[in-house]
A = this chain, B = another copy of it.
Amino acid sequence: MPATLRDVAERAQVSMRTVSNVVSGYAHVSERMRTRVLAAIEELDYRPNPVARTLRTGRTGMLALVVPEIDVPYFSELARDVIDAAAEVGYRVMIDQTGHDHERERQLLTGEDRTMLFDGLLFSPLVTKSELLAMHGSMRMPLILLGEHEFDGRYDHVAIDNVAAARDAVNHLIAIGRTRIAAIGSQPLEEYATPLQRSAGYETALAAAGLERRPDYVTTAAHYSRSDGYAAARALLELPTPPDAIFCFSDLLAIGAMRAVFDAGLRVPEDIAVIGIDDVEEGRFSRPTLSTISLDTPFIARESVRRIIARIEDPTLPATEIVAPHRLLVRESTRPIVGEG
A21 CB to nearest B CB, Å = 15
Q: Is the CB of B76 within 8 A of A71?
A: yes
Bound-complex Cα distance A96 to B63 (A): 12
Q: Is A167 an interface residue (CB 8 A)?
A: no
State whether A80 touches B69 (Cβ < 8 A).
Answer: yes
Which B residues are CB-close (under 8 A) to A61?
115, 117
Q: A126-163 vs B: 1/0 string, CB under 8 Å?
A: 00000000000010100000000000000000000000
Interface contact A76-B83, CB-CB below 8 Å: no
**Among B45, B77, B94, B226, contact of A62 (Cβ-Cβ < 8 Å):** B94
Return A272 CB to nearest CB of chain B, in Å: 15
Considering only residues 86-145 of chain A, those with a C-beta below 8 Å from chain B are 90, 92-97, 99, 111, 114-117, 138, 140
Copy number in this complex?
A: 2
- Shortest C-beta distance, A29 to chain B (Å), equals 18
Give the distance in Å from the alpha carbon of A138 to the alpha carbon of B2 in the complex. Answer: 11
Contact with B along A269-294 (1 / 0, CB 8 A): 00000000000011011110000000
In the complex, the answer to whether A117 meets B71 with C-beta atoms within 8 Å is no
- Min CB gap A294→B, angstroms: 15
Residues of B close to A286: CB separation below 8 A: 286-287
A256 contacts across to B, CB distance below 8 A? 285
Is A198's CB within 8 Å of the partner chain B? no
Q: In the bound complex, what is the Cα–Cα distance between A80 and B76 (angstroms)?
A: 10
Taken together as a complex, chains A and B put the C-alpha atoms of A29 and B289 apart, in Å, by: 64
Pairwise interchain contact B50-A70, C-beta atoms closer than 8 A: no
A235 within 8 A of B: no
- As a 0/1 sequence over residues 174 to 208 of chain A, the CB contacts with chain B under 8 angstroms (1 = contact) are 00000000000000000000000000000000000
Chain B residues positioned under 8 Å from A320 (CB to CB): none
Point out the residues of chain B lying under 8 angstroms from A93, CB to CB. 94-96
For the complex, give the distance between the alpha carbons of A287 and B282 in Å.
Answer: 12
State A99–B97 Cα separation when bound (angstroms): 22
Contact of A259 among B76, B259, B262, B285 (CB under 8 A): B285
Q: Are the C-beta atoms of A117 and B54 separated by less than 8 Å? A: yes
CB pair B281–A259 under 8 Å, yes or no, is: no
Docked-complex contact A255 and B79, CB < 8 angstroms:
no
- Are the C-beta atoms of B48 and A51 separated by less than 8 Å? no
- Measured in the bound complex, the distance between the Cα atoms of B49 and A324 in whole Å is 35
The 6 closest A-B pairs by CB, nearest first: A76-B76, A71-B80, A71-B76, A94-B94, A71-B77, A61-B115
9 contacts between A and B (CB under 8 A): A47-B111, A48-B114, A71-B76, A71-B79, A73-B76, A76-B76, A83-B95, A258-B287, A259-B287
10 further A-B pairs in the complex, CB-CB below 8 A; given A54-B117, A92-B115: A50-B114, A50-B115, A50-B117, A71-B281, A83-B95, A92-B96, A117-B117, A226-B281, A255-B285, A287-B287
